[in-house]
Amino acid sequence: MQTPEEYEVSQRIGLLIKGLKHKRGMSREDICRHLGIGMRTLDNYLNGVSSFKLGTLMKFADLCRVKLADILDDTEALSRLYPDNMKDKGSILTLILGSIAGYFLIFESIVFLLLLLLFCCCYKDKNSQTITGIFLFIFALEVVVAYLLRFIIFPAVESYFFENIYAFGLQLTLSLMLLFLLKHRMTISVFLTQGRSASVFEKNGIEAPIYFLAMTLVLIDFLALMENFLRNLDRLGMSEELAKTFWEVTFFYDYFEYLKTIPAFLCIALLYVGFIARRHAPLQVRATL
């Protein structure tokens, strides 16, 4: 059985777990995996049946990016992780996006299916279909990467720091690939159609805004990756006291899924608008080879 002081710490950790789930989308299974304990063991800790081991507390503090003393003494450093504090930052849009982002694998799959549907709808317009096909290809890879991270890479990696390197690094790679393919869209179109479709040479009105959104995705991934390094400078050789000043840099770390959701849906909306606009526009003067 726990002492009253130990039980108070356990209740505090219970609140922090709720905060990690609400703000960072971490399930109890994820937390147990990082702590190296089973679900029943965690329940016993939180219910006061048994006491937290020192090593487990240190791993949990590292997961929260706070010091062990912060958890034991309930310092101000914990306030940003408590679930009650999330209410002040909430909004209807954040709650909706948060619900979607909390099931990131489902989100990736939904985006892929919407792009696939749009790709099939614009089969008569090779111009729109090529741009949609580029997004479809990238988000197909996104789904593969999401499952790869979730079920293969994450279980094999113990450190949340390295998990984020893999996650943000792969996301950045895919976003850069998207940017590259969009930049060379016409070359890809000519190659795929073998020059038989004159519409691929036409200027599409959504190219500029869609390229801007792709750059936004690259920027989000890059900043998230850099923030992950910044928040873990102690792992890179900097003293913990100095590195601790950067532990509060959590914007992209905490809201990465939300930030990615918005431009992804805007891209789909733009692709649809571009397709509808081209379908109802008068025939353009088509370039010839």
Q: Which two tokens stand for residue 153?
A: 């890479």
CA distances from 102 to 30, 107, 117, 119, 225 (A): 13, 9, 24, 27, 19
The answer on pLDDT for 96 being more than 60 is no
pTM of the predicted model as reported, rounded to 2 decimal places: 0.79
pLDDT score of 151: 85
Delimit the domains of the chain by residue range: 4-87, 92-280
Q: Which amino acid makes up residue 89?
A: K
The answer on pLDDT for 286 being more than 80 is no
DSSP state of 151: I
Residue predicted with more confidence, 109 or 136: 136
25 band by pLDDT with thresholds 50, 70 and 90: low
pLDDT score of 84: 61
274 band by pLDDT with thresholds 50, 70 and 90: very high
The answer on pLDDT for 90 being more than 60 is no
Q: What is the mean pLDDT of residues 90-119?
A: 66
Whether residue 56 contacts residue 37, with contact meaning beta carbons closer than 8 Å, is answered with: yes
Among residues of the chain, what percentage have pLDDT more than 90? 40
Digit-coded pLDDT (tens) for 162-206: 988 999 999 999 999 999 999 999 899 888 888 788 888 888 889
* Lookup result for tokens 């909430």: 90
Dist CA 200 CA 192 (whole Å): 10
Q: What is the mean pLDDT of residues 26-32?
A: 83
Of the CATH numbers 3.40.50.300, 2.60.320.10, 1.10.260.40, 1.10.10.10, which one belongs to the domain with range 4-87?
1.10.260.40
CA distances from 161 to 8, 228, 239, 246, 288 (A): 29, 7, 17, 14, 53
102 band by pLDDT with thresholds 50, 70 and 90: very low
282 band by pLDDT with thresholds 50, 70 and 90: low
Whether residue 266 contacts residue 34, with contact meaning beta carbons closer than 8 Å, is answered with: no
Non-local (6+) Cβ contacts of 74 within 8 A are 12
Dist CA 143 CA 280 (whole Å): 33
The average confidence (pLDDT) of the chain is 84
| Exposure string over 123-162, b if 16+ CB within 10 A, otherwise e | eebbbbbbbbbbbbbbbebbbebbeebeeeebeebeebbb
